[in-house]
Structure 1
């Protein structure tokens, strides 16, 4: 389990610690890894290899972008010298839920458990994205009046462009690209039952489809195992409940179909790197600091 292997780096976004960070990544022979409480956008510029995240492993190549949710661990296993750019931003600076209707990235880039494949970037868009990153870096270095507002605006445009690219390339989002009918049925079934049914066998039986064949289809089209699809839906809901309600951890566990609070805590920590109570307290402490720019 990747999350358990990587140390979690928790940063508090405030005036002293930038809520948005851009860095160059250079990987040759050793594994490079990332696990933070920031949203992550990784843009592969050069190189090839394998990208590992939780239960899934996929190939990466030049001109591909991968997006990761907060607390999501990932690692690069290079097969050739790899150059990349890493954009990190904290939800206090840019809350994807708040700007969902304007940017549309919440269900496409970061919280879409069904479509986690790479975003292929064409040369024209690559030039635009590169300029936006340079603009953000320049503004942050200047420290002039309204720097935060300008950086926020550049980030917003950056995410809109990525969202449009991924929407055009994603089965189910683009009408021109069709998913197998059974996977559309699977999505609906998971959305309706993930708080009660956690086992892949339930979904295979409900769809009257061989479990092995269904799992292979998930890996082919979603680049994730069926188990991970279910687990990520549970984790997304659990994080929302922990951040937006005062419900006790035991009540959250019960609402998600866990009879044992301690099993839920182990399950959550395996995926996030923190226990539910520690996650809640850490995020509440951080989100009382640097606030989103309206």
Structure 2
């Protein structure tokens, strides 16, 4: 379990700690890893290897972009020298939930359980994305009047461009890479039953498909195990409840099909790195701040 292996770095975004960070990444022979409370966008510029997150592993190569949700741990296992750029931004600066309709990225870039494919970046788009990152870096460096608003605008455009690329490359929109009908049915079933049924065997039986066959199809097309697909849906719903309601953790656990509040807390901490109560308190403390733009 990857999350349990990586230390969690919680950045408390404020005037002294930038709510948006851009850094250069170089991975040679050693594993490079990241686990923070910021949204993460990793752009592989050069190199190849294996990218690991939670239960899944996939190969990466140059000119690919990967997007990760807050508290999602990931690591690079380089096979050749890897150079990348890492963009981190806090929900207080740009809240995906708030701007999802304008940017359209909530279910495409960061919360897409069923599409773990990277975003392929061509040379033309690469120039545009690189310029936007440069603009953000320069504005942050100047710290002049309305810097936050300008950086916010650049980030918004950056995410829109990534969303358009990802949408155009989604397998379900590409007739040359068809998704088997049974996986489409699986998506529907998980969406309908993930709060009551957590075991992959339930879905295999409901679809009249051998568990091993369904698991192989999930790994082939979604690059994730059945258990991870279900777990991610549970975690997404749990985070929403903890962030947007004051429902007691015990009630949140029950609504997600956990009879034992403590088992739910262990499950949540295994994936996020914090207990539900600590996650809620930490995020409420930060999101009540003054950093939201505009």
What do residues 156-194 of structure 1 show as CA deviations (whole Å, max 9, x unaligned)? 010011111111111235577531111111000000000
Q: Alpha carbon RMSD of aligned pairs, Å?
A: 1.0
| Structure 2 CA distance for aligned equivalents of residues 105 and 143 of structure 1 | 28
Which residue of structure 2 aligns with residue 182 of structure 1?
A: 182
| Structure 2 CA distance for aligned equivalents of residues 223 and 85 of structure 1 | 23
* Within-5 A mapping of 1:129-168: 129-168=129-168
The alpha carbon displacement at 1:59 in A equals 0.3
* Within-5 A mapping of 1:1-150: 1-150=1-150
What do residues 260-292 of structure 1 show as CA deviations (whole Å, max 9, x unaligned)? 001000000000000000101111111122432
| Structure 2 CA distance for aligned equivalents of residues 194 and 260 of structure 1 | 16
| Structure 1 CA distance for aligned equivalents of residues 61 and 290 of structure 2 | 36
Which residue of structure 1 aligns with residue 260 of structure 2?
A: 260
5+ long unaligned stretches in structure 1: none
Which residue of structure 2 aligns with residue 277 of structure 1?
A: 277
* Greater Cα shift, 176-185 or 89-98: 176-185
For residues 49 and 213 of structure 1, do their structure 2 counterparts lie closer, same or farther at Cα, with a shift above 3 Å needed? same
Aligned residues: 294
**2:252 aligned with 1:247, yes or no?**
no
Which residue of structure 1 aligns with residue 170 of structure 2?
A: 170
Aligned partner of residue 219 in structure 1, secondary structure:
helix
| Structure 1 CA distance for aligned equivalents of residues 68 and 183 of structure 2 | 23
**2:206 aligned with 1:206, yes or no?**
yes
5+ long unaligned stretches in structure 2: none
What do residues 80-110 of structure 1 show as CA deviations (whole Å, max 9, x unaligned)? 1110000000001001111111111000000
Aligned partner of residue 227 in structure 2, secondary structure:
helix
What do residues 15-54 of structure 1 show as CA deviations (whole Å, max 9, x unaligned)? 1110000000011111000000000000000000000000
For residues 176 and 49 of structure 1, do their structure 2 counterparts lie closer, same or farther at Cα, with a shift above 3 Å needed? closer
| Structure 2 CA distance for aligned equivalents of residues 20 and 68 of structure 1 | 15
Report if aligned partners of 1:26, 1:84 keep a CA contact under 8 Å in 2.
yes
What is the TM-score when the length of structure 1 is the normalising length? 0.98
| Structure 1 CA distance for aligned equivalents of residues 162 and 174 of structure 2 | 14
| Structure 2 CA distance for aligned equivalents of residues 106 and 176 of structure 1 | 26
Runs of 4+ off more than 6 Å: none
Aligned partner of residue 114 in structure 2, secondary structure:
coil
Aligned partner of residue 132 in structure 2, secondary structure:
helix
Report if aligned partners of 1:13, 1:290 keep a CA contact under 8 Å in 2.
no
| Structure 2 CA distance for aligned equivalents of residues 132 and 176 of structure 1 | 32
| Structure 2 CA distance for aligned equivalents of residues 216 and 194 of structure 1 | 20
